[in-house]
Structure 1
Amino acid sequence: MQGISFTAIDFETANNFRASACAVGLTKVRAGVVVEQAAWLMNPLPGYREFHPVNVGIHGITAPQVRNMPDWTGIHGPMMDFIGGDALVGHNVSFEKSVISKANEVCGLPAPALDFHCTLALARQHLALAHYTLSDVVGALELPAFNHHDAGDDARASALIAIELARRNGASSLDALWPPATKAAARMPSYYSAGYTRKLADLPQANTTANPHGPLFGQTIVFSGDMAALPRSEAQDAAAAKGATIANSTTKKVTMVVSAELERGGPPSAKVKRAHERAAAGQDIQVISELQFLRLMAFK
């Protein structure tokens, strides 16, 4: 696998703004072998330093831990030196791409010319799983256990996924693993693109083995608008994994509408307006914000 060389990357954020990076993990791969790792905590950029309880509950990083750490302007140089000219690999790597873009934008830094490859898309192409979270894919490939949401561990897990799928498929280069045609197609609207609405048949099925006492179990949920923290389809997958049924429109069966517009002060969408109409008519339905949804997701 001489051509399987890249740097895997993972970020953790303090809140649902992409410019609030508080940790980065990097894993360098050469010829299909992990050769070097690096990870840094960082103080989020000024204006983005609020640590939301949901995010802290996920990765465990708190404001006091990073208060004396360098921020993006101090980490950017060492991070780019580590990456060098490598392509970047990550699980749902569009998140990492947007963190780099937004943080650079806030700091007035130029957007780096980087090539990105997604192990989530790769796993969907080669594995038949109910869910494709990083933990699900690592388990399916029987890779070493890791501390999920530790940026260093997540970067290494993404690297090992790419290496293992390259081995299984006899790929000797990144272009063989992620064919250019596939990358071009990935730029088209897809499950994990902003604004994309899945067809009814493609919606994820509710996980009937999830915790029945969880706040999302048994709910029928519609998502309105594009969330800041994650793509709509990823939010749908996550809610379904908690036992929720996912719908595309505000029907009589819907019990919850997650509105990305609530925290942005935008006008209510047609889905939200319909939910209010149904609630006024007596239907048991509520409209919640993205932050409220993320808090509900934090329940095990």
Structure 2
Amino acid sequence: MNKGVILMNFLAIDFETANSSRASICSIGIVIVENGLIKEEIHTYIDPEDEFTYFNTVIHGITEDMVQGAPTFKEYWPEFKRMIENKVLIAHNASFDMSAMRYALDIINEPYAEFTYGCSYVFSKKVWPTLFNHKLSTVADHLGISFKHHDALEDARAAALVTLAALETSGTDSLVELSDMHNLQLGLHRTDKYSPAGARKRKKSMKVPTRKVDKSHPFFNASVVFTGKLQSMTRGEASQIVLNCGGVCKSNVTRNTGYLVIGDYDLTSFTEVFASVKMQKVEELINKGYPIKVLGENDFLKMVT
């Protein structure tokens, strides 16, 4: 390839959320890049079917009135999936956007889409290491990119331009080559597993195991949500235990939640200062008659040991 000629195709995306729940997507920006040039830009508001908090509205300026009549994530998902399926995606701080997508899909009980993705934040840290930070606004300013921060479409466009600049500066024409140059790995999303983008690690992709389980166990076919920091094990280890019991772990509380497990540290401090979004949602649903059980970490351990 001639240096400065980028032949890369990808989609840059960005989500804004209505509140602290990553599933509360209220705006989606999509920028389609073909052969190193922006070919199409798409924006839609999303009705999160949830409340808008003052803090989030101050950040992005989106209000409940602005999403009236907009599609819900469930309604928009078939079209969005068609755009991203088997494609290469880019986002700045991709861990947030990818987890927001997973959280939203968990709520509507849809499998993950299949795609590869990279993070323009991670790339920028490698390509321009001397910047005092690598926020999208900082990197864009360094590159002379003007944009309105926390506008989903503008953020997606900026992430696309940062990625193109990283490719050009590095003299590469693919995200695989750019990643290899800096000892990075691209993230992978599949219907039943995912692996993060970032520094190369030895860990294997997380995958739901298939095994025989005790159908009489309380967690069998139950939806379990964790909140707070566990003292006895990692969140991943606890989730695996639930899976081994035939249950399913979800990121957010819904009407179908069977159990909310609270880390013992947070449980002991709850009456004074702790009030997670998940706990508040559970209280609301319990008051409406949904039979959700709240467990402390010790109670959880007694059920699985």
What is the TM-score of this pair, normalised by structure 1?
0.61
Question: 2:63 aligned with 1:62, yes or no?
Answer: yes
RMSD: 2.9
Q: What letter matches 1:186 in structure 2?
A: A
2: distance between equivalents of 1:161 and 1:116? 15
Structure 1 residue 98, shift from structure 2 partner? 0.6
1:3 touches 1:174 (CA, 8 Å); kept in 2? no
User: Which residue of structure 1 lines up, in the alignment, with residue 18 of structure 2?
Assistant: 14
Deviations 1:15-73 (A, max 9, x none): 1111100000000111111111101001004xxx0111111110011112113211001
2:90 touches 2:160 (CA, 8 Å); kept in 1? yes
Cα distance change, pair 69–54 in 1 and its aligned pair in 2 (3 A): same
Question: 2:49 aligned with 1:42, yes or no?
Answer: no
1:91 touches 1:134 (CA, 8 Å); kept in 2? yes
Question: 2:133 aligned with 1:131, yes or no?
Answer: yes
Question: 2:281 aligned with 1:268, yes or no?
Answer: no
Cα distance change, pair 225–121 in 1 and its aligned pair in 2 (3 A): farther
Question: Which secondary structure does the structure 1 equivalent of 2:31 belong to?
Answer: strand
Gaps of 5+ in 2: 187-197, 203-227, 231-260, 278-305
Stretches of 4+ aligned residues off by more than 4 angstroms:
287-291
Q: What letter matches 2:19 in structure 1?
A: N
User: Which residue of structure 2 lines up, in the alignment, with residue 156 of structure 1?
Assistant: 157
1: distance between equivalents of 2:275 and 2:158? 32
Question: 2:29 aligned with 1:31, yes or no?
Answer: no
Structure 1 residue 166, shift from structure 2 partner? 0.8
Question: Which secondary structure does the structure 1 equivalent of 2:264 belong to?
Answer: coil
User: Which residue of structure 2 lines up, in the alignment, with residue 116 of structure 1?
Assistant: 117
What is the TM-score of this pair, normalised by structure 2?
0.60
Structure 1 residue 225, shift from structure 2 partner? 5.4
Larger Rg: 2
Cα distance change, pair 148–289 in 1 and its aligned pair in 2 (3 A): farther
Structure 1 residue 113, shift from structure 2 partner? 1.4
Q: Which structure is higher in strand share?
A: 2
1:101 touches 1:111 (CA, 8 Å); kept in 2? yes
2:86 touches 2:116 (CA, 8 Å); kept in 1? no
Count of equivalent residues? 204
2: distance between equivalents of 1:178 and 1:98? 21
Cα distance change, pair 16–140 in 1 and its aligned pair in 2 (3 A): same
